């Protein structure tokens, strides 16, 4: 049995839509694989000890909370970017995803800086993009569908054409409701607008992170779980959204 240390970043500030369910999912699946998922919270002024971190998770928050988190992350941004480049598994959702880009431009023109890890920006709008969503993705090496729920006022636009979205929208809005892209995928990092929470209804994505964590530890995890219930839930949601 191995311990997998997953850091929940700013749970007191960045947890608008109950996305903590993603951590519960990872913890349970690791348990079923015969290992232990240890969730460690870190808040403002906390220090990230990457020697003892297997994955980072952060959910969404309001503009005020995003500003506080940005200032805290900025002081340690260089090291965080290095770890992402080195393949650290990272799941950033909604407002956390937006922080990875260059800036967030509010609906009234006010601008908040981002960490500038990736060449994209987010522009706020008065009307929100809300509803169920289905995308297709090759994050696992094969084409899969991913289902979720989105609720965001920001529209995210890639300026670097080499950036890869997490997937392509079949039904819903995605990054901006225009170009059919949703989220970002880079090495072992996923940024996305998908709430729900994301991982319980998409076990293949949960296992993407588990396999990435295991490989970095030199541990082999065989995909032997019975996901019949999870896959049934996934297909029920997918059929309801697509109408088939």
Mean pLDDT of 205-217: 97
Read off the pLDDT of residues 60-87 as tens digits, 9 standing for 90 and up. 887 788 888 988 999 999 999 999 999 9
pLDDT of residue 59: 92
| 195 is a catalytic site residue | yes
The catalytic position among 25, 94, 152, 234 is 94
Binned at pLDDT 50, 70 and 90, residue 243 comes out as confident
Q: What is the pLDDT of residue 244?
A: 62
The answer to whether the beta carbons of residues 155 and 177 sit under 8 Å apart is yes
Question: Measured between alpha carbons, how far is 119 from 191 in angstroms, rounded to an integer?
Answer: 13
Torsion angle (degrees, nearest 10) of CA 96, 101, 103, 105: -70
**Residue in the structure block whose two tokens are 């008065």:** 126
**How high is the mean pLDDT of the chain?**
94
What pLDDT, in 10s, does the model give residues 125-139? 989 999 999 999 999
The 10s digit of each residue's pLDDT in 14-69 is 987 779 999 999 999 999 999 999 999 999 989 899 999 999 999 988 778 888 89
- Residue 94 bears catalytic tag: yes
Q: CA–CA separation, 193 vs 149, rounded Å?
A: 8
Domains and CATH numbers, the chain: 3-242 (3.40.50.880)
pLDDT of residue 153: 93
The Cα–Cα gap between 109 and 123 comes to 9
């Amino acid at each position: 049995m191995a311990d997998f240390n997953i850091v929940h970043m700013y749970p007191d500030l960045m947890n608008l839509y109950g996305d903590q369910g993603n951590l519960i999912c990872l913890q349970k699946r690791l348990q079923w694989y015969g290992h232990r998922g240890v969730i460690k919270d870190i808040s403002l002024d906390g220090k990230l000890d990457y020697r003892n971190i297997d994955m980072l998770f952060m959910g969404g928050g309001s503009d005020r909370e995003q500003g506080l988190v940005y200032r805290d992350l900025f002081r340690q941004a260089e090291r965080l970017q290095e770890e992402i480049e080195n393949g650290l598994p990272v799941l950033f959702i909604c407002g956390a995803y937006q922080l990875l880009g260059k800036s967030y431009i509010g609906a009234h023109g006010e601008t908040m800086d981002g960490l500038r890890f990736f060449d994209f920006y987010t522009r706020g709008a008065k009307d929100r993009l809300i509803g169920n969503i289905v995308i297709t993705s090759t994050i696992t090496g094969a084409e899969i569908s991913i289902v979720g729920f989105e609720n965001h006022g920001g529209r995210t636009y890639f300026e670097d054409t080499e950036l890869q979205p997490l997937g392509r929208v079949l039904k819903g809005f995605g990054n901006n409701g225009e170009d059919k892209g949703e989220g970002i995928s880079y090495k072992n990092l996923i940024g996305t607008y998908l709430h729900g929470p994301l991982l319980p209804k998409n076990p293949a994505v949960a296992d993407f992170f588990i396999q990435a964590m295991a490989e970095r530890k030199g541990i082999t995890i065989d995909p032997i779980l019975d996901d019949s219930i999870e896959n049934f839930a996934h297909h029920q949601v997918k059929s309801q959204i697509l109408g088939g």
